[in-house]
Structure 1
Amino acid sequence: MSSFSRSEDPVLSDVHLTEVKEQLIDVGYLDGNQIYLSEFEITCPKELLNKLMAVSEISPPKSDIHIDNDGDMVLSRKPVQPRSVDLTRGIIKLQIHHSMETQLRDVGLQIWTGSLVMVDFILDKPDYFLNKHILELGSGAGIPSIVAGMIAKRMTVTDTGESILRLCEMNYQSNRDFIQCPEESFAIQELDWSADEIATIHQPLDCIIACDVVYDNDITDAFFRTVHKIMSKSKPVPTLYMSLEKRLNFTVTELDITCKEYNHFQSCLKQLQTILGSVKVHQFDINSLSNRCDYNRTPQLELWVISEIP
């Protein structure tokens, strides 16, 4: 999730509404934001679960991660617990570091429902991602990248801001026993959407994923400029998968419920299609997906696909 500069009231993701801070593991602070460790249960397809079990030990040691007083990660090499796999229920349990209530500029430290929609999509449509090079834009805590890393050949995980990139690294380290692509093929790097020149992305690139990046028009503009630069330089054109939540607001000026940020997103989507010319845009029916994560799938959640016309 890209950073944001304005000072705003604290915000809290719906994903964290039912979490009780006292029941979470407190691991320290990143740039003034308290970081917790939560367990996310994900129902895994049987074929993938068998693959994970076949190529990895069932109970390897895990790294215990904490943040010291200087904000640096401290990894203890002692075994803390077996890898979290429930074979009977077909569930894996990801250990995810995240923040709770944050300023708007730090929302990428939280977990948002759009990322869980993307997890459902990846695990329901593994053929779209199997042995592919996948780029995540605005990764935030990086849950979709961790899940995609179970089947991808290469992952490039990007965001901007030292604290978010460090959070991604913490979550990679906590769940690396699930990730099947080689360590040297799981890259976490800075990609600033506002920069004139974007960072070099390893080619060829097959897919781009992005979750919950539509919440401010300036950031949406920067996102689509970045997508255009990447897609126009890549041959063949990578497929973009975007999950988002349509956020409704009551405005006093219009005395009505509006969704201006979503309307702006739709406008940008049409512009991208017009500029690239050779792509098609469609909304994927997320109600056809299995519920593999514990979240409230509201009618405001959507998933969009932008792909090259054959």
Structure 2
Amino acid sequence: MDFITFRSDTVLSDVHLFQPNTRHLMVRLNAVGQPVFVSQFKILCNGENADSTSPPGSVCILGNEAVGCVPSREDDSSCVDVPKEEEDGVKEEEEREQREVLQSLLDEDGDLDVLRKPKDHFRTEEDVTERDRVYPIILSKGERVVSEDEEDESATNVIKIEHTMATPLEDVGKQVWRGAMLMADYILSHQQLFRGCTVLELGAGTGMTSIVMASVAKKVFCTDVGHDLLSMCERNVELNRHILEPAGGDLKVCELDWLGNDFCTDPNTEFSWTEDEVADLHNNATVLIAADVCYDDDLTDGLFRTLYRITSNLRNPSTVYFSIEKRLNFTLRHMDISCEAYDHFRSCLEDLRNITDGKMRFTLETVQPTFPQFFTYERIEQLELWKVTAKTLDRNMDSSAIK
């Protein structure tokens, strides 16, 4: 029997807490004993959390498919416009019913009247029959179960992601994080910026952002490191063929180690690059994205070295988008709340902007998160989106002329 393993340094993303329980299905245990789930993330168009900049009745276009707006109630199945007067009447009626229900729970003094079950309602363990007993079921490795919900939810406004929910720090790429949701929101809100582009995602994790990008862009290189994670990412690509095939975009899962020096092109290694793919990236890529990947200083340093190396070899000017969550932690070293990983990220951004080697120039700007929200998650104020423009300078330009 397989066992679920827990460690003291386990971290947990809360993104899944905002999804209905019916959208999560445990399908297996991975090689290290972590429960693996398939969750359904519904694309909300003009939903409750959408920004006012999205006009009423707007639609979200994925490939050649149009996804209509989602009503404010989870259980509604249509998207019919309701007159404001009628909507206000419905709200008043609901509020009146809620007040009546609340009053029925109060006693004559206005206190909450709690109904307690009689003691004889409780049964001893000897009284519980075998029919009443409930045992948890742990699925074996590789075992696959498909629920009715998963079979039914094949519409182009549902993204299916295989992921874990709690991992050690080194496996956080197997979870879905708010930064990926924010980046996906930006992509869906600004599809004209990415349509027809060749895109590289750094640290793709489960691949959710790459899948959203591939519904718009021409070609997406979805990269990370580690066979287990890349295999999960590739399975997610297969789970979302119902979105990718109508869009016509090409999505390739490849290994890219930030602590390495180059692309792995060994044909005997899984998730390696071909020479043609490396050439395609260098000749055609104009967009790079990285969603919530800066949590370790050494990896962040490797990320920025990789970023410089790749952008300096691209034929065309490129734009890099970073999403990051500013995580607040109390540290004994500072005896105060600090954001060390975020501070190091900002330091690397400034170093990038201050490069004066005569080869590259980088400009930075923040993107205000006022665009519509297409996924259900908490868009907290600590979430940030950064835009970096990378331009190759004239090789003959004297470095002293660079300001």
- Shorter-chain TM-score bucket reads 0.7 to 0.9
User: 1:80, CA displacement in angstroms?
Assistant: 3.6
Corresponding position of 2:373 = 291
- Of the candidates 173, 176, 180, which is equivalent to residue 108 of structure 1? 173
User: 1:253, CA displacement in angstroms?
Assistant: 2.7
Corresponding position of 2:230 = 165
2: CA distance, partners of 1:189 / 1:138: 11
Compare 245-254 and 38-47 and name the one that shifted more. 38-47
Conserved? CA contact 2:10–2:169, under 8 Å: yes
What are the ranges of 5 or more consecutive residues in structure 1 without an aligned counterpart? Answer: 1-6, 55-67, 86-91
**Equivalent AA in structure 1 for residue 35 of structure 2:** Q
1: CA distance, partners of 2:321 / 2:294: 13
Structure 1 outlier segments of 4+, above 3 Å: 17-23, 68-75, 79-82, 180-183, 198-201
Conserved? CA contact 1:198–1:226, under 8 Å: no
User: 1:272, CA displacement in angstroms?
Assistant: 1.6
Go from structure 1 to structure 2 and tell me whether the alpha carbon gap of 1:192 and 1:308 turns closer, same or farther (over 3 Å shift): closer
Corresponding position of 1:282 = 365
2:309 aligns to what SS in structure 1?
A: helix
Task: Give yes or no for the alignment of 1:190 onto 2:255.
Answer: yes
**Equivalent AA in structure 1 for residue 38 of structure 2:** L
1: CA distance, partners of 2:20 / 2:36: 13
Corresponding position of 2:352 = 272
2:303 aligns to what SS in structure 1?
A: helix
Task: Give yes or no for the alignment of 1:230 onto 2:310.
Answer: yes
Conserved? CA contact 1:142–1:171, under 8 Å: yes
2: CA distance, partners of 1:198 / 1:259: 32
Corresponding position of 2:384 = 302
User: 1:137, CA displacement in angstroms?
Assistant: 0.7
Go from structure 1 to structure 2 and tell me whether the alpha carbon gap of 1:49 and 1:266 turns closer, same or farther (over 3 Å shift): closer
Map residues 28-47 of structure 1 onto 2, 5 A cutoff. 28-31=28-31, 32-44=33-45, 46=59
**Equivalent AA in structure 2 for residue 294 of structure 1:** T
Larger radius of gyration: 2
Alpha-carbon RMSD: 2.7
Corresponding position of 1:246 = 326
User: 1:274, CA displacement in angstroms?
Assistant: 2.5
- Of the candidates 62, 65, 69, which is equivalent to residue 52 of structure 1? 65
Go from structure 1 to structure 2 and tell me whether the alpha carbon gap of 1:104 and 1:19 turns closer, same or farther (over 3 Å shift): farther
Compare 167-176 and 109-118 and name the one that shifted more. 167-176
- Structure with greater strand share of residues: 1
Aligned length: 280
Conserved? CA contact 1:214–1:244, under 8 Å: yes
1: CA distance, partners of 2:374 / 2:17: 19
**Equivalent AA in structure 2 for residue 261 of structure 1:** A
- Of the candidates 218, 226, 235, which is equivalent to residue 153 of structure 1? 218
Identical aligned residues as a percent: 35
What are the ranges of 5 or more consecutive residues in structure 2 without an aligned counterpart? Answer: 1-6, 46-57, 68-138, 265-272, 393-403
